[in-house]
Amino acid sequence: MHRRTFLALGVAGAALVAGAAHAADPVRIGFSIAQTGLFAQAAPSQMTAYEMWRDEVNAAGGLDVGSEQRAIEFVWYDDESNPTKAAQIYEKLITDDKVDLLLAPWGTPTHLAVAGTLEKYGFPMVGNTAASVAIRQVAPGNIWFPTSAIPDKIGPALAALARSTGVTKAAIIANVLPFSQENLEYLVPALGAEGIEVVINESYPPDIADMTTLLTAIKDSGADGVIALSYPADSFLYMGQAKEIGVAAPFQFLLVGPTIAAFADAFGPVADNVVTLGHWSPHQAAWGRAKPFYDAYVLSFGMKPDYLDTALAYMSCEILQQAVAKAGLDKDALRATIASETFDTINGPVKFDGVENAITPTAFLQLQGGEMHLIWPADVATAAYKPR
């Protein structure tokens, strides 16, 4: 191509771009991600949801911002799994990068750390991967939590589920990390209230390397329900060693871990009928968006989504998208919309009461034939509970 023609084309192109500049300005959405550090292994389950949502929206012409459609552009930084650093990043995103919208960082402590920044600048953000009774102590107004997996509700619901499956004697083993211990606090009295005897109640450190003693004790205790308030690494350890030792309780619950795609890869049929925490399944036909999301995710990433974290992260995007379509980018209008509207998500309708999701019930999943099915409560269940 001649130099002159090239220049002329360039000028013409620049003129075109300038003319369309306003309409083409992307919506900039900021967040921090735990790319390194303690949560780095968990963070991709959230990032993949964000990326998929952005690509879907952009492919459909962009984010509906009330009156026009604008492409989404992400502005993100690594928070090194450090909540304090995350809070600084959110401050930078708001004041320096001047992003239009925010998505959530990963994990409960990180959400709690950035809540103060959101409050300071009056910037609304829909959270996702946070679950603790502590979220209720956050001042409502600029942050919302779509999860229904909050320990004071999990305890009674899990006890009721265990009772319904015929458990009479429960063995509990719990990681000493906060989410497990918070669950333990509410679970023990709830089991008592359901008339279930707790025959073992032991805690263990997160770096536990062997469970032979614990699992032998469980096997010998005659417990017909095992409740492991576990994190992913110890869920893996439990599953492998429970098989070796021959823990045969018909009801076996693992708190966090089985919803990760690698768990089913590691254990296949061995993990069949394990019960875990989760309120979303692609098999719930009443949630029209659930199955298409699942199929698109598997197509994009070649693995199944994390039924807990990926689903929550995607829900937070859906809520933000629908709120922006109605309210635009004005913070006050957006805040009022998120706080009052009902949103249609892959997990069914979501409406907030204060900081909490008032519709989605606390629910449990069971791995059946490699598929995650909701088995509790009855009104959202996609399959009946099966004993191991």
Helices (H) and strands (E) in the chain, counts: 13, 17
Say whether residue 171 binds other proteins (CB under 8 A). no
Nearest to 263, CA basis, from 281, 237, 282: 237
The residue (of 96 and 268) whose beta carbon lies closer to other proteins is 268
The residue (of 294 and 385) whose beta carbon lies closer to other proteins is 294
Say whether residue 35 binds other proteins (CB under 8 A). yes
Say whether residue 43 binds other proteins (CB under 8 A). yes
Candidate list 208, 298, 336, 359; residue touching other proteins; CB under 8 A: 208
Residue 281 CB, shortest distance to other proteins, in Å, is 20
For other proteins (CB under 8 A), the number of binding residues is 44
Say whether residue 222 binds other proteins (CB under 8 A). no
Piece of the chain touching other proteins by CB under 8 A; list 43-51, 89-97, 103-111, 116-124: 43-51
Which of the 8 DSSP states describes residue 247? -
Say whether residue 41 binds other proteins (CB under 8 A). yes
The residue (of 43 and 170) whose beta carbon lies closer to other proteins is 43
Task: Give yes or no for a contact between 279 and 362, defined as CB atoms under 8 angstroms apart.
Answer: yes
The residue (of 210 and 379) whose beta carbon lies closer to other proteins is 210
Nearest to 350, CA basis, from 305, 316, 304, 388: 316
* E-strand stretches of 279-362: 342-345, 348-353, 356-357
The residue (of 297 and 352) whose beta carbon lies closer to other proteins is 297
The residue (of 1 and 209) whose beta carbon lies closer to other proteins is 209
Task: Give yes or no for a contact between 366 and 385, defined as CB atoms under 8 angstroms apart.
Answer: yes
Say whether residue 84 binds other proteins (CB under 8 A). no
Say whether residue 55 binds other proteins (CB under 8 A). no
Say whether residue 218 binds other proteins (CB under 8 A). no
The residue (of 165 and 241) whose beta carbon lies closer to other proteins is 241
**Cβ contacts of 212-218, under 8 Å, gap ≥ 24:** 212/241, 212/245, 214/173, 215/241, 215/242, 215/245, 215/247, 216/245, 217/171, 218/171, 218/173, 218/247, 218/249
The residue (of 71 and 303) whose beta carbon lies closer to other proteins is 303
Using CB under 8 A, which residues numbered 108 to 167 contact other proteins?
Answer: none
Q: Which residues pair with 31 in a beta bridge?
A: 76
Report residue 122 as tokens: 């009056």
Candidate list 1, 18, 21, 209; residue touching other proteins; CB under 8 A: 209
Candidate list 40, 65, 336, 359; residue touching other proteins; CB under 8 A: 40
Say whether residue 260 binds other proteins (CB under 8 A). yes
Q: Which residues contact 162 (CB under 8 A, 6 or more apart)?
A: 170, 191, 194, 196, 225, 227, 251, 253
Helix (H) or strand (E) holding 229: strand 225-229
Give the integer Cα–Cα distance in Å for 150 and 179.
Answer: 9
Q: Which residues contact 258 (CB under 8 A, 6 or more apart)?
A: 235, 264, 271, 274, 276, 365, 367, 372
The residue (of 68 and 244) whose beta carbon lies closer to other proteins is 244
Say whether residue 270 binds other proteins (CB under 8 A). yes
Q: What is the DSSP string of 75-94?
A: EEEE-TT-HHHHHHHHHHHH
Q: Which residues contact 347 (CB under 8 A, 6 or more apart)?
A: 146, 279, 280, 287, 290, 311, 315, 360
Residue 268 CB, shortest distance to other proteins, in Å, is 5
Residue type, 325: A
Piece of the chain touching other proteins by CB under 8 A; list 237-245, 248-256, 327-335, 365-373: 237-245
Q: Please give the distance of CA 307 from its chain centroid, rounded to a whole number.
A: 8
Say whether residue 105 binds other proteins (CB under 8 A). no
Candidate list 71, 160, 198, 261; residue touching other proteins; CB under 8 A: 261
Say whether residue 263 binds other proteins (CB under 8 A). yes
Say whether residue 246 binds other proteins (CB under 8 A). yes
Say whether residue 314 binds other proteins (CB under 8 A). no
Report residue 215 as tokens: 């699992």
Say whether residue 67 binds other proteins (CB under 8 A). no
SS3 content of the chain, % helix, strand, coil (to 5): 45, 20, 35
**Site residues (vs other proteins, CB under 8 A):** 35-36, 40-41, 43-45, 48, 173, 176, 202-205, 207-214, 216-217, 220, 232-233, 236, 240-241, 243-246, 260-263, 265-268, 270, 303
